[in-house]
Chains A and B, each alone.
Chain A
Amino acid sequence: MAPSPSPSGRRNGSGAVPPRCEGRGLPSHAMKYLLRRVLFYLVAFWATITLNFFLPRLMPGNPAEALMSKFGGRLNPLALHAIAIAFGLNVHESLWTQYGQYLVQVMHGNLGTSLTFYPASVFSVIAAALPWTLGLVGLSTVISFALGIGIGALSAWRHGGRFDTFMSTFFTFTYAFPYFWIALTFLYVVGFLWGALPLSGAYTTGLIPGLSWSFVLNVLRHGILPAFTIVFTSLGYWAVNMRNTMITTLSEDYVVMAEAKGLTLRQILIGYAGRNAILPNITGFAMSLGFIVAGAILTEIVFSYPGIGYLLFQAVQQEDYPLIQGILLIVAFAVLAANFVADLMYSLLDPRVTIGESQ
């Protein structure tokens, strides 16, 4: 019953490389994939614009009536009519004509005139608020994601250990807190009682915005508290998610193999376990990147921060239809763009993605 090896062995079947496409780079199939995605997002954006146009018009009442009830007692009908025409609230044209005009205007970046900030255009109002939101919410989202992924990965590596037990309990705790309560508490304790940080705004009123050190420091001091509350409450989400995907990944054969190969802890944690465990979290991260533009409404209200969220809040209060529509459009655009970025990130981080699509 001696084993019967055949040393010559035939080089067949399993020995030949199937003529498949080369992994990465940007050959024609990758371009095709990219073009397909771009086309998909263009269609999705058109659908968003269309919905954005029709939804308010499906609601009972119309902006013109809202405007009239607002000034009703004080203005004569002729003046009201003049205002309605000035704001494009003249509803006597057919819906399709209006839709056509709307599409053309949006393409030109003309989102109408804000009622609240008359005579400023919606575009300029949003453009003024956007940098504050991107800076505050964008930075704290990225910090929160990076920290959460790191903490989650470490918790998973020694799961059941002391660090993991502490972190899991702590994050369940912070994640369960209502955000406004945390924000108000920090504002009250650190800002009001202790007086260590400013209470509201993005910079001290009266300061002239510019690229001087004193202004930048002033902005940072105003940003610390709102940024901290955002990171504090969202960190748990990333950490817990990363921990869970990481625990699954750690029991994969290739991670056991990595340890057997004598790789360093760094190589295993980052290159093998982390690299694979982070993939499912990319989608969530991209989604939240998109919603950065929406601003953290609660944060911006609590800290009176002049971002998009606070703007939306004001617009809704003032029934400023053009502004509301404008903000919704920008948010939808950002979400779509973020998803596109996620697609690109996937094809960079996971070689199976583009290749799978191209076959």
Chain B
Amino acid sequence: MQPVLHVEGLWVDYFTRGRRLRVVQDVSFAIERGEMLGLAGESGSGKSTVALAVARLLRPENAAVGGMVRLNGTDFLALVGEGLRQTRWKSVALVSQSAMNALNPVINIFRQFDDMLTAHGYTDAVQNRHRAAELLDLVDLPEQVLNRFPHQLSGGMKQRVVIALALALHPDLIIMDEPTTALDVIVEREILSKVKTLQRQLGFSVLFITHDLDLLLRLTDRVAIMYAGQLVETGPVGHFSRSLHPYSRALVQSFPSLHQHASDRRRGIPGAPPDLSHPPAGCRFHPRCVFVADVCQTAPAWEAVSEDPLIAVRCSRWKEIRDEFVSTVD
């Protein structure tokens, strides 16, 4: 069965002050029907750019996008104009970063459902009201919310409204870009469990983007980790207790766990992410890597470790790292 989303060799260039800056390079991944893929990385690693590129929301005057993005087998990057507009939201919906600001402040909630439904050919206002009320019910909000303006809702309610909006046209894929960053942990947990329930009910796929790796490991089916514009490792959630890339290992170790003594010190990753206008030669992580060797001066390839389940890594020394794991475990 073909994946809902298939991204191959995706790259993105930003145009800044007359220069062209490659912020995403050689990103490949796929999401199966009903699957939730988590994309993690530090700020500036390019994870949100991947989301915007996949959703075709980068403006041509600001950015160039290349590679392949297939949604249900159709080439999404090749769509333009009216064809693109009509495909939006039906194939891929977006729950954007800080849903606080994702709703138009000057029109009420119903009109934010209605304008989208109208744009996709559903012009009967009475039916649209019905549909919007059903969608709100899916996320446990009462129908009266339709008459409210965004500033009259709490942060959690706004986020639920945005999720209800995303579900409206039964999209195959929902991209969630740090959907709960601005919410407190209790509301966050409520909303994420709601998303999981809805996903089981309705069968859509999710690309979930966050810097919170710990959250991804509890929530998603598979995880991909980004560093300096490239994917460095992907695999099922369970794989990351024995991850093969030094960066992913360091990232996993930098999150505290609840069952741990407070005296155990968390280890940060020394150094800072590279300046993308002058990325380090060879492996982009090598200046900060504890496993660095001469071989790291040449750029490592994106290499599949296993096909089913898919595990891939971008490190020239992943075999040695795996063997070290085996020896320490034994």
Instruction: List residues of B (187-225) whose CB comes within 8 Å of A's CBs.
Output: 187, 190-194, 196-197, 217-220
Give how many A-B residue pairs fall within 8 Å (CB-CB). Answer: 143
Bound-state Cα–Cα, A20 to B157, Å: 14
The answer to whether the Cβ of A72 comes within 8 Å of any Cβ in the partner chain is: no
Q: What is the size, in residues, of chain A's interface with B at 8 Å between Cβ atoms?
A: 45
A352 contacts partner chain B, Cβ-Cβ < 8 Å: yes
Binds B, one of A9-17, A34-42, A74-82: A9-17
Point out the residue from A15, A23, A262 that lies within 8 Å of B149, measured CB to CB: A23
Partner of A1, one of B140, B165, B192, B237: B237
Does residue B89 face the partner (Cβ distance < 8 Å to A)? yes
A178 within 8 A of B: no
Is B104 an interface position by the 8 A CB rule? yes
Would B61 and A252 count as touching, CB distance under 8 A? no
Kindly state whether residue A97 has any CB partner on chain B within 8 Å.
no
Given contacts A9-B194, A22-B147, A260-B57, contact A14 B156 (CB under 8 A): yes
Report yes or no: A261 in contact with B88, Cβ–Cβ below 8 A: yes
The B-contacting residues of A in range 326-359, CB under 8 angstroms, are 349-352, 355
User: Is B85 positioned at the interface, with any CB of A under 8 Å from its CB?
Assistant: yes
Q: Which chain A residue shows the least CB distance to B155?
A: A14
Cα distance, A275 to B105, chains bound together (Å):
10
Q: Cβ of B120: which chain A residues have Cβ within 8 Å of it?
A: 262
Alpha-carbon separation in the docked complex, A98 to B50 (Å): 76
One of A18, A20, A261, A351 near B165 (C-beta < 8 A) = A261
Q: Which of chain B's residues has its CB closest to A255's CB?
A: B104
Asked if B149 and A261 sit within 8 Å, CB to CB, the answer is no
Residues of B close to A263: CB separation below 8 A? 85, 115-116, 119
A254–B103 CB distance below 8 A: yes
Q: Tell me, yes or no, whether A276 is within 8 Å of chain B by CB.
A: yes
The residue on A at minimum CB distance from B103 is A254
Per a CB cutoff under 8 Å, which of A13, A267, A279 touches B115? A267
- How many angstroms between the C-alpha atoms of A2 and B236 in the bound complex? 11
Measured CB to CB, the closest approach of chain B to A123, in angstroms, equals 42
Q: For the complex, is A139 an interface residue (Cβ under 8 Å from B)?
A: no
State which of B86, B99, B141, B152 has its C-beta within 8 Å of the C-beta of A262. Answer: B86
**If the complex has contacts A23-B148, A252-B101, A257-B96, are A262 and B119 also in contact, measured as CB distance less than 8 A?**
yes
A262 touches B154 (CB 8 A): no
**B190/A14 in contact, CB under 8 A:** yes
B85, B156, B218: the one within 8 Å of A13 (CB):
B156
B106 touches A23 (CB 8 A): no
> B61 near A23 (CB under 8 angstroms)?
no
Chain B residues lying within 8 Å of A158, measured Cβ to Cβ, are 61
**B187 surroundings in chain A (CB, below 8 A):** 13-14
Task: Known A14-B154, A17-B142, A23-B149; judge A254-B104 contact (CB<8 A).
Answer: yes
Q: Which interface residue of A14, A20, A252, A350 has the most chain B CB atoms within 10 A?
A: A14
**Complexed CA–CA distance, A4 and B196 (Å):** 9
- CB distance A271 to B107 under 8 Å? yes
Kindly list chain A residues whose C-beta atoms are within 8 Å of the C-beta of B142.
17
Which residues from chain B contact A272 at a C-beta distance below 8 Å? Answer: 104
What is the interface of chain A, defined by CB distance below 8 A to chain B?
A: 1-7, 9-11, 13-15, 17-18, 20, 22-23, 158-161, 252-254, 256-264, 267, 271-272, 275-276, 279, 349-352, 355
Known: A9-B190, A23-B148. 5 other contacts (CB 8 A): A23-B152, A261-B119, A262-B119, A351-B149, A352-B106
18 inter-chain pairs at a CB distance below 8 angstroms, sorted by A residue, are A1-B237, A3-B192, A3-B196, A4-B193, A4-B218, A5-B196, A13-B186, A15-B157, A17-B141, A22-B147, A158-B61, A161-B61, A257-B94, A260-B88, A261-B89, A262-B88, A262-B120, A263-B115
